[in-house]
Amino acid sequence: MNFPKPRKWLGQHFLTDPRILGRIADVLEITDADTVVEIGPGRGALTEQLLTRAKRVVAIEIDRDLAKLLREKHDGDERVTIIESDVLDVNLGEAAGGPYLVAGNVPYNITTPILFHALEHVRATRAVYLVQREVAERVVAEAASENYGALSANVQALATAELVFKVAAGAFTPPPKVESAVLRIVPRADPLIAPSEEAAYRAMVVGSFGFRRKQMQRVIRELWDLGAEPAAEILARAKIDPAARPEVLNPSDFARLLRSRATRPD
Ligand code: SAM
């Protein structure tokens, strides 16, 4: 098949090794009852692996030429739906029409918005992404470890995340400048925050890591424009050491902090 030249600005690095593609599909633990939403199918190599395992694949591709090629390739196959769109504009639950899994070798410049997009309601049952290795390491990092930051605390409040295996740059055409890794994300049955708290939680976490070197007593004073006394009260109620720095707070600590502020007596 004649493919158009890879478009760099769309993060087009294509995987061709069937062994790696098969392993990615295996990590998703697909059954023949599952609908898989694929993000960025590109030339359709991962799509083929998904189709050997799933009931249906809904593939969302922004590139008009590639979407057309995929439509032609799967013409007449009722198990395949190709949606030509920016994935961030698609309600994944509606596109799937029911419970769904997510798979994608995703464009690296929009990895974070994509991860959170699939954690919106209705959440994917499981998701497997091929992402920049450094991003995968940040997502799975534990509090107080080198790679821990806002991305870790924000994802882990809603889901468990695992770096399953790494993929060398040479496996892609054209090779990207960085190493990649397969990241598996499973929404928690007991999310640490409710949907109505998500925006405030994320703002607090991102804001806190903006003051990475400061102690929490200073961080929340700056973040929420508080005096010393109310800040100390909020931290005491949340059982957080006022001298702790944001990088040692785990997602549960941040969730308690948010609630402690919300329930502050006036
Ligand atoms: N899945 C293919 C593979 O493994 O070879 C292609 C992966 S390539 C890294 C990323 C794909 O995502 C490209 O096909 C690109 O056109 C597509 N893409 C980029 N931005 C997108 C967006 N906002 N929404 C949907 N697809 C997008």
Q: What is the pLDDT of residue 265?
A: 63
- Expressed in angstroms and rounded, the spacing between residue 173 Cα and the centre of ligand 1 is 13
State how far the Cα of 225 lies from the Cα of 217, in Å rounded to an integer. 11
Q: What is the pLDDT of residue 23?
A: 97
- pLDDT greater than 80 at residue 264: no
* Per-residue pLDDT tens over the stretch 25-47: 999 999 999 999 999 999 999 99
Q: Which of 88, 105, 115, 135 to mutate to test the pocket of ligand 1 (most atoms within 8 A of CB)?
A: 105
Contact 90, 122 (CB under 8 A): no
State how far the Cα of 191 lies from the Cα of 165, in Å rounded to an integer. 26
Residue 108 CA, closest ligand 1 atom number: 9
* Per-residue pLDDT tens over the stretch 145-202: 999 999 999 999 999 999 999 999 999 999 999 999 999 999 999 999 999 999 999 9
- Expressed in angstroms and rounded, the spacing between residue 19 Cα and the centre of ligand 1 is 20
- Expressed in angstroms and rounded, the spacing between residue 107 Cα and the centre of ligand 1 is 5
Q: What is the pLDDT of residue 9?
A: 87
CATH for 195-262 is 1.10.8
Would you list the domain boundaries of the chain? 8-187, 195-262
Q: Give the closest residue to 11 by CA, choosing from 40, 52, 33.
A: 40
Residue 41 beta carbon below 6 angstroms from any ligand 1 atom: yes
- Expressed in angstroms and rounded, the spacing between residue 235 Cα and the centre of ligand 1 is 44
- Expressed in angstroms and rounded, the spacing between residue 199 Cα and the centre of ligand 1 is 27
Task: Give strand pairing partners of 184.
Answer: 128, 162
Residue 13 CA, closest ligand 1 atom number: 9
- Name the token pair of 21: 């593609």
- Give, in words, the CATH class of 8-187: alpha beta
Task: Give strand pairing partners of 72.
Answer: none
**Mean pLDDT confidence for 71-95:** 97
State how far the Cα of 235 lies from the Cα of 114, in Å rounded to an integer. 33
Residue 164 beta carbon below 6 angstroms from any ligand 1 atom: no
Contact 15, 21 (CB under 8 A): yes
State how far the Cα of 170 lies from the Cα of 13, in Å rounded to an integer. 10
**Mean pLDDT confidence for 38-61:** 98
- Expressed in angstroms and rounded, the spacing between residue 87 Cα and the centre of ligand 1 is 9
Residue 107 beta carbon below 6 angstroms from any ligand 1 atom: yes
Residue 38 CA, closest ligand 1 atom number: 1
> For the chain, what is the HEC assignment?
CCCCCCCHHHCCCEECCHHHHHHHHHHCCCCCCCEEEEECCCCCHHHHHHHCCCCEEEEEECCHHHHHHHHHHCCCCCCEEEEECCHHHCCHHHHHCCCCEEEEECCHHHHHHHHHHCCCCCCCCCEEEEEEHHHHHHHHCCCCCCCCCHHHHHHHCCEEEEEEEEECHHHEECCCCCCEEEEEEEECCCCCCCHHHHHHHHHHHHHHHCCCCCCHHHHHHHHHCCCHHHHHHHHHHCCCCCCCCHHHCCHHHHHHHHHHHHCCCC
Please enumerate in sequence order all residues whose Cβ is within 8 A of that of 49, keeping only pairs 6 or more positions apart, or say none: 18, 21, 22, 24, 25
Q: What is the pLDDT of residue 260?
A: 97
- Name the token pair of 25: 């599909």
